[in-house]
Amino acid sequence: MTQTPQTLTNRQWTHCCYVRNEHGNNMIVKEKTVTIDANTRKVIDVKSRLTTNDKALLNPRRRIYITKPQYRNHDLKKETEDITATDMHIVEDRFLPQELKKIFGIPEWKRVGLRKLCDSPYIYNADIKMETLVRIAYEKFLRHEILHFTKGYLDIEASMLGCDRINAMTYIHENTVYTVALKDFMKIYDDKKKFVRDANEKDIRRAIEKHLGKFTEDGKIHIVNDKMKKPVDVKLDFHFKICENELELLLWIFNHIHKCESDFIYIWNISYDVPKIASRLQYYGHEPKEVFSHPSVPPQWRHFYFKEDKKKTQHMSDKWHWVSTTGMSQFVDQMLLYARIRKAERKKSKYSLEAICQEELGIGKLTLEDDDEVSANVHLPHRLVGTKEWHVYMQQYNFVEYVVYNIQDVLLLKFLEDKNNDTRGLYSLTEHSGLSEFSKQSSMLKDSYYKFALDRGRVFAATGENMKGPYDDLIGKQGGAVLRADLCRDIGMRCIKQKPEFESMVLTMCSDLDYKAIYPSLKSGYGISKETKISTTVAIQGQPQETIEHYYGAIATPEENAVWVGHQYFGLPNYEEMANLIRCGN
């Protein structure tokens, strides 16, 4: 008789959306309910859901800590306080400012914001974001490794023929492709640009076979692309739809998005696609929150907001736009994720999908150049490929091939993520924070320090409106908190076995300092622009003047890795040589 294994069920946090409106506060989490074998920890079953009716997350409560009266003998904030020297209060997050006013005897009618209240040196853990608290709560009860995330990819094409309509759209979930096109644009022309007939799904399939790969008997397309650096061998299941109007096109794609429930959906340059989709929905009288939200979300909790990162940055790839919506899928800008994951590397000269995919994959967009047989047999010169004129021409006379161009763009997103798996970096590098905080290193460090302190019986000070100390005005600004490298020489850990008394450059608890030069990465160590480095460096000892530009990347795609500089100019070992030395025991 086969014995039924004992099982455990636990929940894995994937992403979340904090909804605050007239109905209250609700932290809606996309979670995976995971059933595992109690003995082997083997995963038996996985289901995804949104926590729209979870009592613990509806009007969520938080713990705040207030210094006990007998310990209020200081005027300046402490970084942390022993938890035994504080009183704990459990309050609803939406009523936090009111509760703090009660605790400190501030009249209820007096308007004081949370940040101003947190000027008090006696308040702890009051400004940690609810997204962080919820994610940490999930982590506490996790009994298995993080499961694989399902991924989707999306791209739109908009009309350039005098209207704003989205005329083609492709969504890929794992290995299933959903492509939709507007009927108005689906026309076949002859070589004299005369209309022949309306195009259909068979025409799209023929164009796909011409440019991408052959369909198999089971209706799937088998793509074998040996032009890529890592050849692709994948079977894709295609679904097509030709719609009468734009609203039908959008709703058809989102219907499949909600059915597939991809954990993450990647878009290249999300600041164009998502606002465009939202504006077109509004044009037809549809609230974006009703379309982006999953059908399982009750109407009162449906939410959509696109937060454009408008802060000034040295480079456009340093931004981090974010889509907050109550859907099963979290939309992510794949271009910004790609750049931020590689922040310590050199900046690319271009962050277009074409440029990145040529470098990473060895292939790019479908150009449909003059040596391609497009439907009208009328070609544009190579120099016009990718220009506005090219897009106008393709949408007017070769729209079937233009739909395949759209499909190829989305396939590139998939191939790029399959190769790099940047989702793992997004999830792990945020650690305890909400994914929307990925660009805020200080916020993520604060969240990590909060948990670090709490695990050791200490609570973390809340950030006030004014964090200046009594003598801060006397300290001049010197371009940020930059520590000269020679000041931190030989003050680190004694970690070299052969030299037990030697204080190395390996330092601890220095994450808030920006060193001028830490081996092996000059790029992440400097934290200042290439132009500043070049203009402020007078000379490099023992090197000719012209090497300054080589060191600091005056060329279009600068190499700023210290190992490369040391090997190139000073004869130091490169990575391969260092690895050989370690293997040889030197």
β-pair type (151-158, 176-182): unpaired
Residue with tokens 């001049």: 476
Q: What is the pLDDT of residue 555?
A: 37
Q: What is the DSSP letter of 362?
A: S
Structure tokens that stand for 90 in this block: 């459990």
CA 320 to chain centre: 7
* Distance spanning both ends of the chain, measured CA to CA: 60
Angstrom CA distances, 585 to 379, 505, 577, stand at: 63, 21, 12
Task: Give the sign of the dihedral formed by CA 500, CA 503, CA 504, CA 509.
Answer: positive
User: Cα–Cα distance between 437 and 149 in angstroms, integer?
Assistant: 19
Domains of the chain in sequence order: 7-20+27-50 (no CATH), 151-271+307-315+350-428 (3.30.420), 477-583 (no CATH)
Pick the closest to residue 15 from 329, 320, 420 (CA basis): 329
- Helices assigned H by DSSP within 129-261: 130-140, 201-211, 246-260
Q: With contact defined as beta carbons under 8 Å apart, do 22 and 6 qualify?
A: no
Concatenating the DSSP letter of every residue in 12-24 gives EEEEEEEEEETTE
Structure tokens that stand for 253 in this block: 């794609």
Q: What is the DSSP letter of 385?
A: T
Pick the closest to residue 95 from 85, 84, 103 (CA basis): 103
Angstrom CA distances, 461 to 63, 65, 85, stand at: 13, 9, 13
Tens digits of per-residue pLDDT, 244-299? 999 999 999 999 999 999 999 999 999 999 999 999 999 999 999 999 999 999 99
Phi, psi dihedral angles at 273 (to 5 degrees): -65, -50
Q: What is the pLDDT of residue 480?
A: 44
H helix or E strand, kind and range, residue 299: none
Is-cis flag, bond preceding 97, omega within 30?
Answer: no
Q: What is the pLDDT of residue 574?
A: 76
The two counts, helices (H) then strands (E), for the chain are 18, 22
Three-class DSSP category at 457: coil
pTM for the complete prediction?
A: 0.78
Q: What is the pLDDT of residue 532?
A: 54
Q: What is the pLDDT of residue 103?
A: 92
User: Cα–Cα distance between 123 and 464 in angstroms, integer?
Assistant: 10
Pick the closest to residue 48 from 61, 32, 36, 60 (CA basis): 32
Q: What is the pLDDT of residue 1?
A: 45
Q: What is the pLDDT of residue 222?
A: 61
Burial of 186 (0-12, 13-18, 19+ CB in 10 A): buried
Q: Give strand pairing partners of 437.
A: none
Q: What is the pLDDT of residue 169?
A: 96
Q: What is the pLDDT of residue 560?
A: 46
User: Cα–Cα distance between 265 and 153 in angstroms, integer?
Assistant: 5
Cβ contacts of 444 within 8 Å, gap of 6 or more: 429, 430, 431, 432, 433, 437, 438
Q: With contact defined as beta carbons under 8 Å apart, do 514 and 481 qualify?
A: yes
Q: What is the pLDDT of residue 498?
A: 79
Q: With contact defined as beta carbons under 8 Å apart, do 111 and 97 qualify?
A: no
Residue with tokens 């006990």: 68
Q: What is the DSSP letter of 312?
A: -
Concatenating the DSSP letter of every residue in 190-219 gives -TTS-EEEE--HHHHHHHHHHHT-EE-TTS
Q: For the chain, which residues score pLDDT lower than 70? A: 1-5, 215-233, 368-386, 474-491, 505, 507-565, 575, 579, 582-586
Count of Cβ atoms closer than 10 Å to residue 522 Cβ: 23
Q: What is the pLDDT of residue 567?
A: 76
**In angstroms, how far apart are the furthest CA atoms of the chain?**
91
Tens digits of per-residue pLDDT, 527-563? 445 555 555 566 666 666 666 655 555 333 344 456 6
Q: With contact defined as beta carbons under 8 Å apart, do 266 and 332 qualify?
A: yes
Q: What is the pLDDT of residue 533?
A: 53
Cβ contacts of 331 within 8 Å, gap of 6 or more: 154, 264, 265, 266, 267, 270, 274, 323, 325
Q: With contact defined as beta carbons under 8 Å apart, do 324 and 436 qualify?
A: yes
Q: With contact defined as beta carbons under 8 Å apart, do 505 and 488 qualify?
A: yes
Task: Give the sign of the dihedral formed by CA 285, CA 288, CA 294, CA 298.
Answer: negative
User: Cα–Cα distance between 460 and 135 in angstroms, integer?
Assistant: 18
For residues 453-463, one letter each, b for 16 or more C-beta atoms within 10 angstroms of the residue's C-beta and e for the rest, the string is bbeeebbbbbe
Please count the CA atoms within 13 angstroms of the CA of 360 that sit on its side-chain side.
Answer: 23
User: Cα–Cα distance between 368 and 419 in angstroms, integer?
Assistant: 25
